[in-house]
Amino acid sequence: MSDDRTFTCTDCGAEISADVESTPKAFKFHVKREHRSNLQDLDSTRKRPYRAFLDEHDIEKIRDDDVPI
């Protein structure tokens, strides 16, 4: 059984895949690099702005993780 996880960016459809602990960091890096202006707009209005770029299925996968996104 693999410990890899894949997140799909809802803004551009990019799939970010890595091990369970690295995927949130890689996803945040993708959002910062590719969607900086959208992230800045959300940063002041949301507690967890990166989750705006994830679908509900991906959010459910990370809800109990030790590495939050």
Instruction: Say whether pTM exceeds 0.75.
Output: yes
Kind and range of the H or E element at 5?
A: strand 4-8
Which pair of structure tokens corresponds to residue 1? 């059984």
Confidence of residue 13 (pLDDT cuts 50, 70, 90): very high
Confidence of residue 45 (pLDDT cuts 50, 70, 90): confident
Segment 41-53 mean pLDDT: 88
Domain ranges in the chain are 4-62
Q: What is the DSSP letter of 65?
A: -
Given a cut of 70, whether residue 2 has pLDDT beyond it is no
pLDDT at 37: 92
Given a cut of 60, whether residue 1 has pLDDT beyond it is no
